Amino acid sequence: MPLTGARKYQGSDGALIAGVAIIVAMLSIVPMFRLAFEIVMPQGSLSAAPTIAALSGSATWTATLHSLQVGIGGTLLAVVLGTAVALLVSLTDVRGRGPFVLFYVVPLLIAPQVTALAWLQLFGPASPFLKLIGMAPPLGTRNPLYSTGGIIALLGVQYAPLVFLMVRAGLRKLPRELVEAGLSSGAGRWTVVGTIILPLMTPSIIGATALAFVSCVGNFGIPAFLGIPAGYLVLPTLIYQRLASGGPAVLSEVAVLSMLIGLIAMAGILAQDFAARRRDYRITSASLTAAPFTLGKWRPLAELLMWLVVIVVLVLPILGLLLTSLVAAYGVPLTMKTVTLANYEFVLFEHAAARRAFFNSFGLSLAAAAFAVVIAVPLAYLITWRKRWWTRFLNLSAELPYALPGVVLAIASLLLFLKPLPVIGLHIYNTIWIILYAYLARFLVLALRPTISGLHQIDRSLEEAAQVAGAGLYRRLRTIVFPLVAPATLAGGVLIFMTAFSELTVSALLWASGSETIGVVIFSFEQGGDSNYAAAVSTLTVLVTFVLMLFTNLFARHLPSGVLPWRD
């Protein structure tokens, strides 16, 4: 005898689960399958020719080698820098931690190509900054950053904050008893750091290393700005060049290349998994964090060092960018006479593509953020509060397009939409919609993660109370769950907006005339030698990022800790 009411219940639940699962599958599983399909059956017929062609070219292996070179170099630098700064900030009694973290983490929020441009402007022979202080090399001198070392240095600077955040989160969970036990057994501070704290932090450090590695090998902006002029190609830039010169005809071949970069990234993640499993130092006790080590007379020196880091990794490059955007032409020194806003006027009002790009990027970022916010809530709800064996896969699927390098997703999207979709005849290739699709897929997880951590902190009985009050699933989601996690989810939305606003990796491969993004415009200006315009656009995006950060800080109180990376 079926019970009355039971059926309706299963109906609305099933619809939610199916809806969310379909969306996640469309954004993650489908493109990845399309990519894999292309490699096995290029252009629809079983053939190994493109794979052989891609893998036999010496350019492929040179680029792979370069990817590994800058990937490993950048990762090492990021891990050393990030860990050192995390130890200094977390374990000692330095002052001004909050503002320091705010500034130190900013490079993470600035698009890599903007970072690259800023540093190039700082060190180049035309650098208005070097000219101001009278240290500019003669015009025509090669910029020292156009090199392997330059790429590694910038990758390190870009991703050190990523390592910093993860190691700092780990250090915060370190129970003080463990440190105190070490100290009271007679060990000095350095010994305690070396024999207790660092070993306990290995899981965090390993995790951070994997993340930094994936980010470094997948990075497009930095090797594009620093490597292409020097003829130094990594896999993402090789893919870009092939596609730019060969068009859709070479898609099968670049699919193989993107798979290659995907495999390298996966290898990094698997290596981390392997290493982490052999060192299970799970810290279970919830305790206060250890009292900071007093630095005594070294404190001012440590603080000076801290702020010097901020000046070098943030202030100087931004200054370089700003100064370049204020001079009329390449190589002109900045004086009261030459200072001008003409570059801004040009990119905002005169240059049609740049003007379009501002609209496009604004619309794309807003749409991606809004979509992610709307989907993240039911998705996170299923993952946290309606846990089943398969909800884990929903979570993994949502993570995948962000975990893999952006070029992989871009190539997969191209393959998926090159021809109009069968049955519905949807044709979005070469339009802004394909970029939107890729953004939705790539950035969803940035809103999902904070929503999940927000839900973990909310007592589920709040939802159950609404349930016994008679509220159905959708009403509960709308009136109870969403309002409760809204701050965290919206903060995720803001992060998405910031990231998407000056995004380059995906849009560089997907854009067409009319669907330029800000990232693409910066890239094109720089490639065409118009660094001043590129700097002006970049300065504007940095400004937008800053304003959004300050704005989000206003409601930071309502957020679970860790949602805003720049809030300590």
Interacting residues with another protein (CB under 8 A) = 1-6, 8-9, 459, 461-462, 464-472, 475, 479-480, 483-484
Q: C-beta of 448: minimal distance to another protein in Å?
A: 21
Within 10 Å of residue 196's Cβ, how many Cβ atoms? 18
CA angle 546, 550, 555 (to 5 degrees): 145
Cβ burial of 423 (10 Å; 0-12, 13-18, 19+) is exposed
Within 10 Å of residue 151's Cβ, how many Cβ atoms? 28
Task: Provide φ and ψ at 57, rounded to 5°.
Answer: -70, 140
Alpha helix stretches (DSSP H) within 336-481 = 342-345, 352-385, 391-403, 406-417, 432-456, 461-468, 473-476
When the beta carbons of 247 and 470 are compared against another protein, the nearer one is 470
Q: C-beta of 351: minimal distance to another protein in Å?
A: 46
When the beta carbons of 366 and 471 are compared against another protein, the nearer one is 471
Largest CA distance in the chain: 90
* Inter-residue contact 444 to 372 (CB < 8 Å): yes
Q: C-beta of 462: minimal distance to another protein in Å?
A: 5
* Inter-residue contact 63 to 234 (CB < 8 Å): yes
Q: C-beta of 22: minimal distance to another protein in Å?
A: 23
Question: CA 312 → CA 170, 199, 308, 309, 555, distances in Å?
Answer: 26, 30, 6, 5, 30
Distance separating alpha carbons of residues 114 and 499, to the nearest angstrom:
12
When the beta carbons of 212 and 481 are compared against another protein, the nearer one is 481
Q: C-beta of 9: minimal distance to another protein in Å?
A: 4
When the beta carbons of 117 and 473 are compared against another protein, the nearer one is 473
When the beta carbons of 279 and 460 are compared against another protein, the nearer one is 460
For residue 388, give both structure tokens: 């089943």
Q: C-beta of 470: minimal distance to another protein in Å?
A: 5
Residue type for position 474 = Y
When the beta carbons of 432 and 485 are compared against another protein, the nearer one is 485
Q: C-beta of 474: minimal distance to another protein in Å?
A: 11
Q: C-beta of 464: minimal distance to another protein in Å?
A: 6
When the beta carbons of 9 and 359 are compared against another protein, the nearer one is 9
DSSP structure class, residue 93: -
